[in-house]
Amino acid sequence: MPKTQKDNLFDLVKSLSKSEKRQFKLYVGRLGVNEDAKFMQLFQILEKQSEYNEAQILKGGTITKNQLSNIKAHLYKQLLVSLRLNPSHQNVRIQLREQLDFATILYHKGLYNQSLKILDRAKNLALQHEEKNIAYEIIELEKVIESQYITRSISNRADELTIEAKDISRLNVIASKLSNLSLQLYGIFLKKGYVKNDEEYQIITKYFHDRMPEVEGENLGFREKLWLNKAYLWYSFLIQDFRSCYKYALKWTNLFYEHPEMITLNPVFYLRGKQYLLEALFYIKDIGRFKETLEKMEGTVASDAFPKSENIESLIFLHLYSHKLNLHFMEGRFEEGIPMVKEVLEGISQHKDTIDEHHIMILYYKIACLYFGAGRNKMCIEYLQKIICNKSLQMREDLLCFSRILNLVAHYEAGEDYHLERLIKSTYKFLIKMEDLYQVQKEMIRFLKGLGDIYPHQLKAEFQKLYDQLKPFEDDPYERRSFLYLDILSWLESHITGKSIPEIIREKALIEK
Q: What is the pLDDT of residues 310-337, one digit of tens each?
A: 889 999 999 999 999 999 999 989 999 9
Same domain, 234 and 161: yes
> So what's the pLDDT on residue 158?
77
* Alpha-carbon span 426 to 429, nearest angstrom: 5
Let me know whether 173 and 227 are in one domain: yes
The model's pLDDT over 462-503, given as tens digits with 9 standing for 90+, comes to 888 888 888 888 888 877 777 776 788 888 888 888 888 888
* Cβ pair 477, 509 in contact under 8 A: no
Structural domain count of the chain: 3
Does residue 47 have a pLDDT over 80?
yes
Check: CB of residue 114 under 8 Å from CB of residue 129: no
Same domain, 74 and 13: yes
User: Could you tell me if 141 and 177 lie in one domain?
Assistant: no
Q: Is residue 81 part of a domain?
A: yes
Quote the pLDDT of residue 394.
Answer: 62
Residues 135 and 162 in one domain: no
Q: Is 217 helix (H, G, I), strand (E, B) or coil?
A: coil
Residue 178 has pLDDT above 60, yes or no: yes
- Give residue 1's pLDDT: 37
pLDDT class of 4 with cuts at 50, 70, 90: very low
Task: Tell me: pLDDT of 71 over 80.
Answer: yes
Higher model confidence: residue 277 or residue 94? 277
The CB density around residue 73, as the number of other CB atoms within 10 Å, is 12
Annotate 414-474 with DSSP letters as a single string: TT-HHHHHHHHHHHHHHHHTSSS--HHHHHHHHHHHTGGG--GGGHHHHHHHHHHHHGGGG
Q: Is residue 64 part of a domain?
A: yes
With 50 as the cut, is the pLDDT of residue 227 above it?
yes
Terminal-residue alpha carbon distance, the chain: 52
Instruction: Measure the CA–CA gap between 277 and 233, rounded to whole angstroms.
Output: 10
pLDDT: is 366 or 58 the higher one?
A: 366
- Do 221 and 162 share a domain, yes or no? yes
- Between CA 42 and CA 60 the distance in angstroms is 10
Question: Could you list the residue range(s) of the whole structural domain that residue 36 is in?
Answer: 8-89
Indicate if 107 and 75 belong to the same structural domain.
Answer: no
Q: Could you tell me which of 376, 412, 404, 373 has the C-alpha nearest to residue 491?
A: 373
**Cα 62 to Cα 37: distance, rounded to the nearest angstrom:** 10
Instruction: Tell me the mean pLDDT in the region 90-119.
Output: 89
Cβ(229)–Cβ(213) below 8 Å: no
Residue 267 located in a structural domain: no
pLDDT at 151: 55
Is residue 303 situated within a structural domain?
A: no
Q: Do residues 251 and 274 make contact, with C-beta atoms less than 8 angstroms apart?
A: no
- Of all residues in the chain, what percent carry a pLDDT higher than 90? 39
Q: Verify that 122 and 191 share a domain, yes or no.
A: no
Between CA 277 and CA 240, with CA 280 as vertex, the angle to 5 degrees is: 135
pTM exceeds cut of 0.85: no
Beta carbons of 404 and 428 less than 8 angstroms apart = no
Question: Pick from 89, 112, 145: which residue ends a domain?
Answer: 89
Residue 472 included in any domain = no
Average pLDDT for the chain: 85
Counting every residue written for the chain, the total comes to 513
Pick from 6-10, 33-37, 121-125, 413-417: least confident: 33-37
Find all residues with CB under 8 Å of 394, minimum gap 6, and list them: 358
**32 and 85 assigned to the same domain:** yes
Distance CA 382, CA 374 (A): 14
The yes-or-no verdict on residue 5 having pLDDT over 60 is: no
Taking CB atoms within 8 Å and a gap of at least 24, the contacts of 58-62 are 62/38
261 domain residue, yes or no? no
User: Exposure pattern of 401-412 as b/e (b: 16+ CB <10 Å)?
Assistant: bbbbbbbbbbbb
136 and 211 housed in the same domain:
no
- For residue 232, tell me if it sits in a domain: yes
Helix (H) or strand (E) holding 403: helix 397-413
d(CA 392, CA 378): 24
The reported pLDDT for the residue numbered 476 is 82
More confident residue, 343 or 446: 343
Considering only residues 393 and 210, tell me which one the structure prediction assigns the higher pLDDT.
Answer: 210
Distance CA 314, CA 312 (A): 5
Instruction: Summarize the confidence of residues 68-88 as an average pLDDT.
Output: 87
What is residue 88's DSSP assignment?
A: G
Q: Which of 239, 274, 302 is the last residue of a domain?
A: 239
The larger pLDDT score, comparing residue 136 to residue 37, is at 136
- 416 within domain boundaries: no
Same domain as 118, residue 84: no
Last residue of a domain, one of 153, 172, 201: 153
Domain match, 144 and 114 both: yes
Of 173-182, 233-242, 367-376, 417-426, the one with minimum mean pLDDT is 417-426
